[in-house]
Structure 1
Amino acid sequence: MNTLISFIVVFGLLVFIHEWGHLYFAKRAGILCREFAIGFGPKLFSFKRNETVYTIRMLPLGGFVRMAGEDPEMIDIKPGYEIGLVFNGRHEVSQIIINNKSKHPEAKVVQVEKVDLEHELFVQAYDDDELVRYKVNEKAVLVQDEQPTQIAPWNRQFGSKSVGQRALAIFAGPMMNFVLAFVLLAALALMQGIPVDRAEVGEIMEGGAAEEAGLVEGDQVTSIENTPVDTWEEMTTIIQQNPNESITFTVVRNGQTESIAVTPNERVGQMGDAEGFIGVTQPREFSVIGSLTFGVTQTYLFMTMIFEVLGLLVTGQFSLDYVAGPVGIYNYTGEAAALGIFVLMQWAAALSVNLGIINLLPIPAMDGGRLVFIGLEGLRGKPIDPQKEGMVHLVGFALLFLLVIFVTWNDINRLFM
Structure 2
Amino acid sequence: MSTIEVVLKVILLFFVLVTIHEWGHFYFAKRAGILVREFAIGFGPKLFSYKKGETRYTLRLLPIGGFVRMAGEDPEIVQVNPGQTVAIKLNTAGEITHLYLDQLNTRAQVIQGVVEFIDLEWQLTLTLEVDGEKLTFPVHPRAMMVTKGSETQIAPYNRQFGSKSVGKRALSIVMGPVMNFLLAIVLFFILIMITGVFTNVKLDTVDPGKAGDKAGLKAGDIVISVNNEPIGENREKLTTLIQQNPNKKMSWLVERGGSTIPIDVVPLADDAGTGKVGIKISGDKRSANASEVITGTYKQVVGSTIGILTSFKMLIFGQFKMDDLGGPVRTAQVTAEFARMGMSYLIFWAATLSLYLGIFNLLPIPALDGSRLLFMGIEALRGKPVDPNRESMVHFVGFALLMLLMVAVTYNDILRLING
TM-score by length of 2: 0.82
Matched letter for residue 415 of structure 2: N
Q: CA deviation at 1:55?
A: 0.4
Structure 1 counterpart SS, 2:306: helix
Q: How many angstroms apart in 2 are the aligned matches of 1:308 and 1:276?
A: 23
Aligned residue pairs: how many? 386
Q: How many angstroms apart in 1 are the aligned matches of 2:6 and 2:118?
A: 54
Q: Which residue of 2 aligns with 1:20?
A: 23
Given candidates 365, 373, 382, the residue that maps to 1:371 is: 373
Does the CA contact (< 8 Å) of 2:201 and 2:282 recur in 1? no
The 3 A distance-change label for structure 1 pair 86 and 202 is farther
Q: Which residue of 2 aligns with 1:155?
A: 158
The 3 A distance-change label for structure 1 pair 146 and 322 is same
Structure 2 counterpart SS, 1:178: helix
Q: Which residue of 2 aligns with 1:165?
A: 168
CA RMSD of aligned residues (A): 3.5
The 3 A distance-change label for structure 1 pair 237 and 147 is closer
CA deviations 1:273-324 (Å, max 9, x no partner) are 66467x9633233234432343333122211111111111222223332121
Q: How many angstroms apart in 2 are the aligned matches of 1:228 and 1:306?
A: 28
**173-182 or 312-321: which moved more?**
312-321
Structure 2 counterpart SS, 1:232: coil
Given candidates 181, 195, 213, the residue that maps to 1:192 is: 195
Aligned residue runs from structure 1 range 10-409, under 5 A: 10-195=13-198, 198-199=199-200, 231-233=232-234, 249=256, 275=278, 281-409=283-411
The 3 A distance-change label for structure 1 pair 230 and 360 is closer
Q: How many angstroms apart in 2 are the aligned matches of 1:222 and 1:37?
A: 50
**126-135 or 58-67: which moved more?**
126-135
The 3 A distance-change label for structure 1 pair 287 and 106 is farther
Q: How many angstroms apart in 1 are the aligned matches of 2:303 and 2:200?
A: 23
Structure 1 counterpart SS, 2:74: coil
TM-score by length of 1: 0.83
Q: How many angstroms apart in 1 are the aligned matches of 2:348 and 2:47?
A: 30
Q: How many angstroms apart in 1 are the aligned matches of 2:183 and 2:65?
A: 16
Matched letter for residue 391 of structure 1: M
Does the CA contact (< 8 Å) of 2:201 and 2:234 recur in 1? no
Matched letter for residue 42 of structure 1: P
The 3 A distance-change label for structure 1 pair 223 and 327 is closer
Does the CA contact (< 8 Å) of 1:199 and 1:229 recur in 2? no
**19-28 or 380-389: which moved more?**
380-389
Q: CA deviation at 1:110?
A: 1.9
Residue identity over aligned pairs, in percent, reads: 44
Matched letter for residue 385 of structure 1: D
Matched letter for residue 370 of structure 1: R
Q: How many angstroms apart in 2 are the aligned matches of 1:373 and 1:230?
A: 47
Q: Which residue of 2 aligns with 1:243?
A: none
Does the CA contact (< 8 Å) of 2:231 and 2:238 recur in 1? no
Matched letter for residue 81 of structure 2: K
Does the CA contact (< 8 Å) of 1:32 and 1:51 recur in 2? yes
Q: CA deviation at 1:128?
A: 2.6
Matched letter for residue 404 of structure 2: L
Q: CA deviation at 1:127?
A: 2.4
The 3 A distance-change label for structure 1 pair 289 and 149 is farther
Structure 1 counterpart SS, 2:21: helix
Long gaps (5+) in structure 2: 205-217, 243-253, 262-267
Long gaps (5+) in structure 1: 204-212, 216-220, 241-246, 252-258, 262-267
CA deviations 1:204-235 (Å, max 9, x no partner) are xxxxxxxxx9x9xxxxx8979xx99661359x
Q: CA deviation at 1:199?
A: 3.6
Q: CA deviation at 1:4?
A: 2.3
Matched letter for residue 285 of structure 1: S
Q: How many angstroms apart in 2 are the aligned matches of 1:185 and 1:228?
A: 28
